[in-house]
Amino acid sequence: MDYTLLTLLEASKLLKDRKVTSVELTKSFLQKIEQTKKLNTLITICKADALATAEKADKIIQSGVAYPALTGLPIIIKDNISTKGVRTTCGSKFLKNYIPPYNATVVEKLNAQNAVLLGKANMDEFAMGGSNEHSAYGNVLNPLNNEYVPGGSSGGSASAVGANLCLASLGSDTGGSIRQPAAYCGLIGLKPTYGLVSRFGLVAFASSLDQIGPLTKTVKDSALLLSVIAGSDEKDSTSEKFKLPDYNKCFTDSIRGLKVGISKEYLNLFMSDETKVSVNSVIEFLKQHGATLVDINLKNIDLSLSVYYVVACAEAASNLSRFDGVKYGVRAKDYKNLSELYFKSRTQGFGEEVKRRIMLGNFVLSSGYFDAYYKRAKKAQQAIKCEFEKAFNICDVIISPTTPSTAFKFGEKTDNPVEMYAADVYTVPVNIAELPAISIPCGKGQNNMPIGIQLIGKKFSECTLLNTADYIEKHYSWEGK
């Protein structure tokens, strides 16, 4: 039996029934990782620690006492999530030798569950990119077709699950960085409500937008992982105190009475013809299975992309100012004074995409342009939030494609950053409005690559999203499924 093909829940059941051990599972995945190195999915492999954790998990399982849900299950996490004693590079040369002295809160929660950490996933540098072509450690390949990008910035996390190198993974989503790679790799990608999952220990890109979430093979696997990582955290000032439901019990296998919001403005943001066909097909499926379609007005949705790149770049410029060659990270060897140390260290340490966003962020925050760009962007952000709030007074979920089209080939958009940014047009509104969203596969394009559909919910409505997504996953069929 090929254990790497299992879902998270399937593997959990086999462990519970004593039909496999955690060590056997872990060795299977480590062997698969070794066999698929060309995908360049991982920056760091934690072989010794993974096997030690697996041995510990087997002893716990064999003892007969009750144990946590993720005990003995191998997973991978994105390399911008801090792991004590394990290198955390953020896909950058700047942090190539950085070993955090503490764990992120989500890592502490995984450790408490006795989950097995196989390694740290490759990513766009400092989470800035939508294709995983901006890592200092090389491109990550899409496991479905190596000529195509896996998406970004959580491309390594998505590639790992898609290539069966782990049972599930964690990524981070600032403007679609979980959902877009999930769509490109044919996976489930969940971006939780802002504040539902602690950001403590996540190396910040844009602090008001970043959120950690799962990438999985099934919707129920996402629910299981979310149930572990969600919850308030006193170490994170943006963490929300919210009574958590049992996400594993959200499933009713029914969408009767569900109100699905349809925004003509949202659905007219230049999606491809084949994507439009898939989206309309899912909408018709929902209607036929008992959902009610509701027209909603999101007249400012077309401003989302501009708002996102002003706000995100401004926050990135501020967050990355700490990387100066003095405290930690890369330090230039030859410099005459402090200013030259800053300049040379940052020039040598950062890649081109990170430099581009830092420069844009500093520009919109500069005294002569703050009001014209940053201040106006924040006002537009508030208007977009208000429109979503009004829409959710009359609907339960809003539907859209996850991306305008299927995955593109390597090199296709690297010379045109604006075109690359436009691939985020359907995902960034969710982060701007602090909402949850989930991406599910719903078809294939002419290039035989997956098409993803996105469901958006109001704050803390993850249960509704999970139930709807699960229903689509189980009952909606398309050619090639």
Q: Which residues of 149-164 are buried (b: 16+ CB within 10 A; e: fewer)?
A: bbbbbbbbbbbbbbbb
Query: What pLDDT does 417 receive?
Result: 83
Known catalytic residue at 254: no
In angstroms, the CA 430 to CA 304 distance is 9
Sole residue written with tokens 């999952």:
197
Judged on CB neighbours under 10 Å (0-12, 13-18, 19+), 481 is exposed
- Predicted confidence (pLDDT) at residue 4 exceeds the cutoff of 90: yes
Q: What is the pLDDT of residues 79-105, one digit of tens each?
A: 999 999 999 999 999 999 999 999 999
Question: What region, left, alpha or beta, does residue 296 occupy, with left being phi > 0 and alpha being psi -120 to 50 degrees?
Answer: beta
Q: What percent of the chain has pLDDT over 70?
A: 100
Query: What pLDDT does 368 receive?
Result: 86
Q: How far is CA 361 from the centre of its chain?
A: 23
Query: What pLDDT does 416 receive?
Result: 83
Number of domains the chain is built from: 1
Mean pLDDT value across residues 138-155: 97
- Catalytic residue, chosen from 153, 278, 405, 439, is 153
- Catalytic residue, chosen from 78, 109, 120, 458, is 78
Question: What region, left, alpha or beta, does residue 129 occupy, with left being phi > 0 and alpha being psi -120 to 50 degrees?
Answer: left
Q: What is the pLDDT of residues 362-402, one digit of tens each?
A: 999 998 889 889 999 999 999 999 999 999 999 999 999 99
Strands (E), 13-92: 42-45, 74-78
Helices marked H in 177-253 — which ranges?
179-185, 219-229
Q: What range does the domain containing 233 cover?
A: 1-481
User: Contact, 265 vs 298, CB < 8 A?
Assistant: yes
Smallest CA-to-CA distance from 405 within 268, 267, 274 is with: 274
Known catalytic residue at 153: yes
- Catalytic residue, chosen from 177, 222, 304, 439, is 177
Query: What pLDDT does 100 receive?
Result: 96
Query: What pLDDT does 163 receive?
Result: 98
Query: What pLDDT does 351 receive?
Result: 94
Question: What is the sign of the dihedral through the CA atoms of 195, 197, 198 and 199?
Answer: negative
Known catalytic residue at 306: no
- Three-state DSSP state, 240: coil
Query: What pLDDT does 415 receive?
Result: 82
The residue type at 326? V
Q: What is the pLDDT of residues 221-246, one digit of tens each?
A: 999 999 999 999 999 999 999 889 99
- Predicted confidence (pLDDT) at residue 361 exceeds the cutoff of 90: yes
Report how far apart the first and last C-alpha atoms of the chain are (Å, whole number). 22
Mean pLDDT value across residues 129-153: 97
Q: What is the mean pLDDT of the chain?
A: 96
Mean pLDDT value across residues 243-256: 96
Banded pLDDT at 357 (limits 50, 70, 90): very high
Query: What pLDDT does 268 receive?
Result: 87
Sole residue written with tokens 């494609």:
401
Write the CATH number for 384: 3.90.1300.10
Query: What pLDDT does 211 receive?
Result: 98
Mean pLDDT value across residues 169-195: 98
Packed helices 376-391 and 304-319: angle between N→C axes, nearest 10 degrees? 120
